[in-house]
Structure 1
Amino acid sequence: MFGTYTGLQGNLFDQLNRLQRELDESFGLWPQAAELRAPGWGSWPPINIGATPERVDVYLFAPGLDPNELDINIQRNLLTIAGQRRIERAEDQRWYRTERHSGEFRRAVTLPEDADPDRVDASYRDGVLHVSVQRHESSQPRRITVS
């Protein structure tokens, strides 16, 4: 009954799904995450956070950025990373699908209470921003000798 419509390629429902995706992308909406651990809308670029007793490491995966245009701040244990990725596109070119994010972004990460905002290193290599925040030495475990 709802087979292939002669004016469209493929199944009519496939075309309606494609139209819905394109409308969502046009208005800045992203489809719902396919799995529980998948990042939700607005969580670009993807981020990994790891911690050791000495430091907290934040990895932001965003190829194509200009590292000189990144804005990295720490205020009251909140690490904020903001920037922009520009993708040049010809004005006369018509795009049918764009999956690479472009434009401004802002990510915020809550750091542990013992993070030291005065000891932060940041590097950008191969499309990965690595921000390393050392922990206060006073919070480090230390061995006490018995006399």
Structure 2
Amino acid sequence: MSDLYSRTDLFSEFDRLQRQMESLFGGLPSSLRSSRFGAFPQINIGTTDDSIEIVVFAPGVDVGGLDVAIERGLLTISGERKPAQGVAGDGTRTYAQERFTGTFRRAIELPQNADPDKVQARYTNGCLSISVGKRESSRPKSITVQ
């Protein structure tokens, strides 16, 4: 069994294969009710009576490099997370890497009652919070019975 590990760096091959698979399937849109396991950044989506609340967990991402856009009911979040400083340099072979580095793009299909003119986004402590307002016509209304 030791011959298998000495001939090739098995862990780096698995890492290379995983990166290729992520680049192949990385840009597919997901809806509010589905997500890809292991996608970066991870996303939580919720709703209130007035808005759709999205929290994007993206530590280590430069806020200046984040791009948030809404087009035809699709919210896209893209950016880049660079390698952490202080990582060992030349001569070090990586056999496991759990921290994602590189460019990313996530797409979320918004419901029809989302109002693209009422969007707010803020980045605090590694979390991008996006609030998308709902259209006035879709909000619950109280009806008085006479």
Which residue in 1 is equivalent to 2:105?
A: 106
Which residue in 2 is equivalent to 1:34?
A: none
Q: How many residue pairs are counted as aligned between the two chains?
A: 130
1:66 to 62, 66, 70: 62
Which residue in 2 is equivalent to 1:142?
A: 141
Which residue in 1 is equivalent to 2:115?
A: 116
Question: Residue 116 and residue 23 in structure 1: after superposition, are their counterparts in 2 closer, same or farther (change >3 A)?
Answer: same
Deviations 1:60-104 (A, max 9, x none): 111001111111000111100000011145652524232111110
Q: Larger C-alpha radius of gyration, 1 or 2?
A: 1
Per the alignment, in what secondary structure is the counterpart of residue 134 of structure 1? strand
Q: Give 1:30 deviation, angstroms.
A: 6.5
Give the root-mean-square deviation of aligned CA atoms: 2.8
Aligned-partner Cα distance in 2 for 1:112–1:20: 44
2:51 to 31, 46, 55: 55
Which residue in 1 is equivalent to 2:30?
A: none
TM-score by length of 2: 0.75
Letter of the aligned partner of 1:23 in structure 2?
A: E
Unaligned ranges ≥5, structure 1? 32-36
Unaligned ranges ≥5, structure 2? 23-33
Which residue in 2 is equivalent to 1:45?
A: 41
TM-score by length of 1: 0.74
Aligned-partner Cα distance in 2 for 1:126–1:104: 20
Greater RCO, 1 or 2 (C-alpha within 8 Å, sep 6+): 2
Q: Which has the higher helix share?
A: 2
Per the alignment, in what secondary structure is the counterpart of residue 61 of structure 2? coil
Aligned-partner Cα distance in 1 for 2:125–2:49: 27
Q: Give 1:24 deviation, angstroms.
A: 2.2
Q: What is the percent sequence identity of the aligned residues?
A: 38
Q: Give 1:19 deviation, angstroms.
A: 5.0
Range 21-30 or range 79-88, more displaced: 21-30
